[in-house]
Structure 1
Amino acid sequence: MYFRHSNEMWNEFPDLVPGALFVEGIAAGAILADPIAKFYQIAEERLAASSEGEMPEIQAWRRTFSKMGLKPTQYRCASEALLRRYRQERSLPQLHPLVDLCNAVSIAFAIPIAVFDLAKISGDLEVRHATGKESYLTFAGETEYPEPREVIFADSADRAHARRWTNRQSGLSAVRQDTRSVLIVAEAMHETAGHDVPRLISTLATELAGAWSVDAKTGVLSSSSPRFDL
């Protein structure tokens, strides 16, 4: 199995910097209150300095959403949505230790992070434009069909595991209590993404090793090296 962005995506978004982690041995019983609190504190400090909409990481995604024909204040990248919720509530929902950790890292770095249960993905996973024949399962259990040209995470069975790129993941491959193997993807477009994404990936790998005693396979992708083999 591999993860990649299509050639067309690289041509359209040359500033893209994606990072990926593959890890096995995840369990739902890990206690991560301290590291999560540490990343919340970083987010607190960033939000004290500026609103999420003024952060360069978020501004870059807003420009990207506009380029895709989406209203950036109607469809927000995942990190902006999380930061906004955190600013309003000073907390985030507790879902699963791994998801909670990734959400905390996401708001600390202001970079969207997707986490996929690999048991629910058929074949390879690619970020590409939809053809119109893919299906998407919502968290409510409803089936949607992305419009042609919408940016999605698509597997080999034409199932969309995320819609509008970094806007919304699918309920199908969401992390559950029985999840064991995951692919984690972080993507950024801002000026210092080439420095920040590798740092985010390294940070996550360290936290995963500490919480689950696992060795994550990591990679930072580029147009000349676009494929992450699991």
Structure 2
Amino acid sequence: MRFLYSPAIGAEYPELVSGAVLVTGITTDVPVAMVASAVARHTAVAEERLADGAEGEFAEIQAWRRAFTRMGVKPTQYRNAAEALLRRYRKERSLPSVHPLVDLCNAISVAYAIPVGVFDTACITGPLEVRHAVGDEMFVSFSGGTEHPEPGEVIFADASGRAHARRWTHRQSGHSVVRDTTASALIVSEGLHDSAPADVGKLIATVAAELTEIWKVTPTTVTLTPTDGPVDLAE
């Protein structure tokens, strides 16, 4: 699985730090109690942070709001995934249950206030690149509808011209969403705040440790910046 950033993204967002995890052996047949315990541990961290102020005050979220503004997107209309989850958690004190892997990654995302995307690798053709959209890429929404990203919008795109995420970390595609049949997944987390180099590394290590504990697998991990060039994660 090859993952990379276009040179333009590296030039425009030199502060970006990314982490990726490739994991094989994912099933839904895992101990429910173990997943619930992990989710509870991580949401407790979010609970503690939210007690001191709303998510919009977090440095991690503020950095993504600035990036969305630079991208030409209104950040309070199209919130990055971590902010949307934190906002929901603050109001409901719970997160939606979708799939054990997604539930775990969502909980880790709110703990670190950093977006975490989870993609079914079987649905990705060739390398997955974070780049500016041309505008003719195909994006499938969760409802099954087809959209085309705006030209210049930051997307996750594969070699077939399919967009797997729109507005960068705002919304993933229903095409590569993790489902009961998913066996292999690429997990990507990205930070733009000052302490992102340390925080993203910790987040990726946390994801890997939880995967090893719950699914008894050995994931492949990497941290990178946009100027590092393509990275190949072996299954």
- Common fold: TM-score over 0.5: yes
Residue 119 of structure 2, aligned match among 106, 116, 119 = 116
In the alignment, what sits opposite 2:176? 173
Matched, 1:12 2:12: yes
SS in 1 for 2:190: strand
Distance 1:153 1:115 in 2: 12
SS in 1 for 2:106: helix
TM-superposed deviation, 1:83: 0.1
Specify every segment of 5 or more residues in structure 1 that has no aligned partner in the other structure, as ranges: none
SS in 2 for 1:122: coil
Q: What TM-score, normalized by structure 1, do the two folds share?
A: 0.99
In the alignment, what sits opposite 1:81? 84
C-alpha distance after superposition, 1:88-109 (max 9, x if no partner): 0000110000000000000000
* Range with greater deviation from structure 2 (188-197 or 219-228): 219-228
TM-superposed deviation, 1:36: 0.6
Distance 2:215 2:93 in 1: 27
In the alignment, what sits opposite 2:135? 132
For 1:10, the aligned partner's letter is: G
Distance 1:198 1:226 in 2: 18
TM-superposed deviation, 1:224: 4.1
Residue 143 of structure 1, aligned match among 143, 146, 157 = 146
In the alignment, what sits opposite 1:206? 209
Q: What TM-score, normalized by structure 2, do the two folds share?
A: 0.96
SS in 1 for 2:51: helix
Matched, 1:221 2:229: no
SS in 1 for 2:188: strand
Distance 2:164 2:47 in 1: 30
SS in 2 for 1:49: coil
